[in-house]
Amino acid sequence: MKHSYITPLLSSVLLFSLLSCSSTPDKSPDGSLVSLGDSKQALFISLHAAAKKGDTNSQLRLAKCYDFGEGTAKNLPQAISWYTKAAERGSAEAQDSLGSIYISGDDAKTSAKDRIGIPRNTTLALQWYKKAAAQGYAPAYNNLGLCYHNGDGVAVDEKSAVQYYRIAAEKGNVDGAYNLGRCYFHGIGVTKSLSNALEWLRKASAQGQQDAAGFMRDNMIG
């Protein structure tokens, strides 16, 4: 592989451009100075202003910024706060995201290195998943399937789990297709069927679900 070099003249041009982009600082909502040359930080500031005015989509996007550390430091309590605002205004994606946070929260089995500082609450998780699913949000159906499969917030019910996985899969959710395929392969909540298992596992794999490809490889099918 060839190395690339920057000529002194080009280097000067690039330096001038960088200084021009970052010469105007501003303050983020938490009071820290940021450079408006950083597009993620600039977007974070504009989203915060719109979210405070009640724009649901901005509240959702701001929650994601706090959740994943985009344009600001990760802050899960702030993420939950803004997800909740968007969820209460009817955002199915925010409702589903809240469910996933509460299902992944800390409990007595959580190791110190894996703790996120939010208590696990399967009852709340189930409630938010159901609200999102009621709006037809496909990932929420898959997550409901997992709740019934694992007994999170509800008694284990493998047949109900399969029903939710199927709805998610038929709506194009690749995780739902993968989970439905696994159920057919093992005969969980449904009559065991290799042909049906392959149908859904292949659909999931074709759409980039890596676990589905690995499952077929590990079980020497497909």
Determine the structural domain holding residue 152 and report its residue range: 138-222
pLDDT tens per residue, range 58-116:
999 999 999 999 999 999 999 999 999 999 999 999 999 999 999 999 999 999 999 99
Residue 115 backbone zone (phi > 0: left; psi -120 to 50: alpha; other: beta): beta
CATH number (domain holding residue 130): 1.25.40.10
According to DSSP, the residues that pair with 106 across neighbouring strands are 119
Q: Is residue 7 pLDDT above 70, yes or no?
A: no
Does a structural domain hold residue 30? no
- Among the candidates 85, 118, 135, a domain finishes at 135
The torsion angle over the Cα atoms of residues 196, 198, 200 and 202, rounded to 10 degrees, is -160
Within a domain: residue 180?
A: yes
The reply to whether 127 and 71 lie within a common domain is yes
Domain-embedded: residue 26:
no
pLDDT tens-digit readout, 175-187: 999 999 999 999 9
**Radius of gyration of the chain from Cα atoms?**
23
What token pair was written down for 116?
Answer: 């996120």
Give the HSE-up count for residue 7: Cα atoms under 13 Å, Cβ half-sphere: 3
pTM over 0.95: no
Domain count, the chain: 2
Domain shared by 129 and 39, yes or no: yes
48 CB-side CA count, 13 A: 18
CA distances from 30 to 6, 34, 73, 81 (A): 38, 11, 10, 15
